[in-house]
Amino acid sequence: MLIGRVMVSKAKRTFVAIVAFALMACACVSVAGCDGAANGGSGTLKVGVRSDIVNFSLLNEKTGKYYGLEIDIAEEMAKRLGYADVEYSTVTPDDRKDVLLEGKVDCLVACYSVADSRLESFDFSPTYYPDDTSVMVENSSLITDITQLEGGVLGIMSGSNAGPLLAIKLNEMGIIGDNIISNTDEGTQYEGVYVKKFASYAELSQALEEGVVDAAVMDGSITDTYMNEDRSLLDISIADQNYGVATQKGSELSPRVAEVIQGMLDDGTIAAYIEKWN
């Protein structure tokens, strides 16, 4: 099912299935109805965006405005789709699925990576920004290689798919075993590492600071926000994260969004935005 595009060896198939299950569990997919009541022609495009990702989509609380690459993309996209106005609302990794499924927003431009599990429920536009997942450590821990994390504690943001992807990667590398010992809201105990979940990136960062976790796993787009001179990223690529615009499955908006995004990719608009916000 949802493992289709993750290339894994047959030997690991069981493990992957379990991870996929965990992924589904923690993703809390609500399969509530609301199948694509086309509501795009109202003149205002409702876009769900993040509020805390520097250079992608940051809410300035003083003005209530958002700034960033995704905002520019959303703005341009809405224009090309023929909407007069764009209305933004903040989504978090925890609630973005529900928000879109319930139709509170027309689409998500929210550092939302294309993943097979997500393709079940949503349509994605072509990737507008390719990212990957990084592992951040404190220099003073003297950890320079992913293998040193064996037996350690990793931190992830709950609701992000970084954790499962990491687990798959660690499993591939043979650092952790095939079994999940326990899986709670607090964290997941794999054979070899414990993955601790945090409600926010800020908490995750503070846990890294105090040493509660030995490494923090987060999207590349987010590391910039928490990077400092006492920290470094391990030289490892966990998994590609390809951000796309998500729309409701089968909605009439989906093909148009895909077309517009492809158009923006083709004419260099998005490249210019990436350059601008880089």
Residues in contact with other proteins by CB under 8 A are: 54-55, 58, 60, 62-63, 65, 67, 138-143, 152, 206, 209-212, 214, 224-225, 230, 276-277
Distance in Å, CB of 157 to other proteins, minimum: 17
Closer CB to other proteins, 86 or 143, in the complex: 143
Minimum distance of other proteins from residue 61's CB (angstroms): 10
Q: Which is nearer to other proteins, 223 or 251 (CB)?
A: 223
**Contact in structure between 265 and 128 (CB atoms under 8 Å):** yes
Residue 139: CB minimum distance to other proteins, A: 8
Reading phi first (left if > 0) and then psi (alpha if -120 to 50, else beta), residue 267 is in alpha
Which class for 106: exposed (0-12), middle (13-18), buried (19 or more C-beta within 10 A)?
Answer: buried
Of 44 and 141, the one with the shorter C-beta distance to other proteins is: 141
Closer of 120 and 150 to other proteins (Cβ): 150
Q: How many residues does the chain have?
A: 278
Whether 247 contacts 157, CB under 8 Å: no
Kindly state the smallest distance separating residue 275's Cβ from other proteins, in Å: 10
Shortest separation between residue 60's beta carbon and other proteins, angstroms: 5
For other proteins, which is the closer residue by CB, 154 or 261? 154
